[in-house]
Chains A and B, each alone.
Chain A
Amino acid sequence: MATTHPPTPATEPEQPWHTPAHERRGTRKVRVTTSAALVATAVAAVLLVPLLFPLDQQAIDLTSRLLPPSWDHPFGTDDVGRDLLLRSVYGLRVSLTVGIVAALVAAALGLAVGCVAGAAGGRTDRLLMRLVDTFAAVPHLLMGIFIVAMFRPGVWPVVVSVGLTHWVSTARIVRAEVLSLRTRPYIDAAISGGAGRRRVVLRHLMPAVLPQAGLAAVLMVPHALWHESALSFLGLGIPAHQASLGTMINAARGPLAAGDWWPTLFPGLFIIIPTLAIAGLAGAWRERINPRRRSELVL
C-alpha cells in the first residue's frame, strides 16, 4: 500500500509470487469471485446509499452519542450521535472518488511521460528519466504532505498531490514496454509505410501499452485511497467536517482515549477491505496479461 513502491530498476528482482500448485485453480477462483463481489457491493453502496438514505449526514443527535454496536447501529454511533455505518459509507464514497480520480491522473501522466520517453529516446529520454528519479527520491506521502501544506486543505489539493506523486511507477512500466515494442517488426513496417513519429506513438505504441497502464491505474486506486486517508488523518486532507475515512479515524481519537473503540475500528476496516478486494481483482488481471507474474499486492 502504501507502500510497495518499485525499487530502483537496477536491483528489482523478478517477483513471481508463486501460488503453490495445489492452491492454484480453486482458491484463486474463490478469491477473484469474493473480490469482485466485494468491489461490486462497495460500488453499489456508495452509489445507492446516499439515494436511499438521503438524511443529512451532519444530523447531530446528542441523545444517542457513542452507542456501542447494536442491531440499530451495526457500527455504533460517533461522539455526536451519528450512525457510523452510514457515515462510513459516505466516507468510503469520498475516499474512493478521490482515490479513483487521483489514480486516473497518475496513470494518464505516467502513460504520457513513459510513452514520450520510450519513443523519443536520446536526450528527451534521459531528461525525463532524471525527472522520474527526482520524484522517486522523495517519499510519496512526504511529497503529498508538502503539496497539501502549501495549499488549503481540500479535495483538490489531495487529488493533485496523490496524482502528482504516483505517476512515476507507471511511467517506468510504460517506458520499458515501449522500449521493447519499438524493436517489433510491425513498428518497422509502420515507419517504412511512411508513418510519422506522432502517428507511430498514437496509433501503434499507445494502444499496445494501454493494458499495462490500465492495470497500473487499477493498482493505483487502493494506493491513492491509502494516501488520501493518511493525509486526511493528519489533518492535511479532506476538511474535517466532510466524512472521509481518514477524517473519521482522526475524529475518533477523542472517543478512543476514553476507551470507545468502534469509531476507530470500523472506518479502518472500510480502508482495508476495498484495498484487498481491488488488489485481488487487479492481481487476476495481471496474471491474464502477464502470466509470468503472480498476483502481488502493490500499495
Chain B
Amino acid sequence: MTAGLPWGAMARLTGRRLLAAVPVLALVTFGMFAVAAASPFDPVRQYVGSGVGASAETLDRLRADLGADGSFAEQWWTWLRSAVGGDLGSSLSLRQPVTQVIAERLGWSVLLCTVAFVAAVLGGTVLGVAAARRPGRLLDRTVSSLGYTLQAAPPFWIALLAIWLFAIQFDLLPAGGLTDPGSDAVTAGGLLRHLILPATVLAISQLPWFVLYVRQGVLDALREDPVRGARARGLDERTVLLGHALRSGLLPVLTLIGTRIPELITGALLVETVFSWPGIASATVRAATASDFPLLAALTVLSAIAVLVGNLLADLLYGLADPRVSHDEM
C-alpha cells in the first residue's frame, strides 16, 4: 500500500454511509417509541413509584416534564430533538442524566471489550493456524470441535463456571466488580486482577468465530498457487505457512472484524452482568430490569451506532484489502 490510500473514495463511502445511517437510526428510535407505546409501561408511574398517592395534577405536571404527554410520535420527535442537542433525558433507575451514565461507564466497557477482542483475534489466529497446518489431525479436530462447542455454550454459563473455578474453588481472582470489598479506589494492579476473568470469558465467547474463519482462510490459502510456488522454490514450511498462507488467509478475517460488533455487544451484555462490571452493557440490563426507558433507549441507539461504524470499517478495510473492489461501488 505504498501507492497511498484512496482517501477520496474512502471519504465518499463514509459520507454515503453517514447519510444512510440517518434514516436507519431514525427508524430504530421510532421503533423503540412504538414498542414502548404498545406496552403497558408508563414512565410516570415508573418515576413516581407504585403505591404513592400522587395527585392528578402532580402526575400531569410530571408527564409534561418527562415529555411523556402526547402521542408516541410526538414523544419521539421531542426526544429526537433534544437528543440531537445532546440531552438524552434522565435515567429513571439510576436517577442521574443519561449522558452522565454513559460518560461514567463507557470507558470501562471499551476497556473490557478492547482487551477481550484483541485477545480473541490473537488467540484465534494462533489456534486457527495451528489447526490448519495439519487438517484432519488430532490438533485440528480438537480445535474445531472445541470451537463448535464454545460457540454453542452461553457466555454467562462459561462466566459462572469460571467464577466457580478461579474465584471460589481456588480463590485466585476476584469474582466481579472493579475494586476489592471495603475499598473504592481503583488501582492499576487491582484493575488488572479484576479484568482478567471477564476479559478472558468475553474473549472465549468471541474466539470460535475467529478460530474457524482463520483455519478456513489458511486452509484455502494453502491450496492456492502462491503457496504452491513458494513450496516449489524450496522455502521451508514455516515461511510458507506464516509468510504466505497466513498473510492471504488472514486478510478476509481482518476485513470482517468490524462486523463482529453485534456479537461483541451481545457477549458484553452477559459478561458484564455476571461479573458486575460497571460498564454500559450491565447498565443496559439494569435499565431493562427496571423498565428504565430513557436509559435503555439511549444505550440501544448507542449500540446501533457502534454496529453501523463497525460495518463501515469492514467495508473500508475490504476495499483496501481487495484492489478489485472499489469503495465507490459499495
Contact = CB atoms under 8 A, between A and B. Distances in A.
A264 B160 contact: yes
A276 B148 contact: yes
Nearest to B153: A272
A151 B212 CA distance: 38
Contacts of A229: 154
B289 A149 contact: yes
B166 interface: no
Output the residue of A1, A265, A275 with the most chain B CB within 10 A. Answer: A1
Given A265-B161, A276-B149, A299-B152, A142 B300 contact: yes
Interface in A263-295: 264-265, 268, 271-272, 275-276, 279
Interface string B281-316: 000110111010100100010011001100100110
User: Could you tell me the dominant secondary structure of chain A's interface residues?
Assistant: helix
B27 A134 contact: yes
B318 A142 contact: no
B183 interface: no
Interface string B8-33: 00000000000010011101100110
Nearest to A149: B288
Contacts, number: 186
A257 interface: yes
B265 A264 contact: no
Given A7-B314, A145-B269, A268-B157, A222 B288 contact: no
A286 to B, nearest CB: 15
A234 interface: yes
A111 interface: no
B64 to A, nearest CB: 22
Contacts of B267: 3
Contacts of B4: none
B160 A256 contact: yes
A192 interface: no
A297 interface: yes
B208 to A, nearest CB: 8
Interface stretch (B77-85, B103-111, B233-241, B256-264): B256-264
A236 B288 contact: yes
A193 interface: no
B42 to A, nearest CB: 11
A87 B115 CA distance: 38
Contacts of B76: none
A4 B136 CA distance: 24
A273 B262 CA distance: 24
Given A4-B209, A149-B287, A149-B291, A264 B148 contact: no
Contact of A261 (B164, B216, B262): B164
Contact of A145 (B140, B163, B288): B288
A8 B300 contact: no
Q: Size range of the interface on B?
A: 35 or more
A203 interface: no
Interface string A1-20: 11111011011010111101
B36 interface: yes
Given A5-B262, A139-B303, A146 B288 contact: yes
A22 B134 CA distance: 12
B270 A230 contact: yes
Interface in A68-86: none
B164 A139 contact: no
Given A145-B285, A149-B291, 13 more contacts: A8-B259, A17-B212, A22-B136, A130-B24, A139-B265, A140-B262, A142-B266, A149-B289, A150-B293, A230-B270, A234-B285, A299-B151, A299-B152
Interface of A: 1-5, 7-8, 10-11, 13, 15-18, 20-23, 130-131, 133-134, 136-143, 145-152, 222, 226, 229-230, 233-236, 249, 252-253, 256-257, 259, 261, 264-265, 268, 271-272, 275-276, 279, 296-297, 299
17 contacts: A3-B262, A7-B256, A8-B311, A8-B315, A11-B256, A18-B135, A23-B136, A139-B266, A140-B262, A141-B266, A142-B269, A146-B288, A264-B161, A271-B154, A272-B152, A279-B152, A297-B148
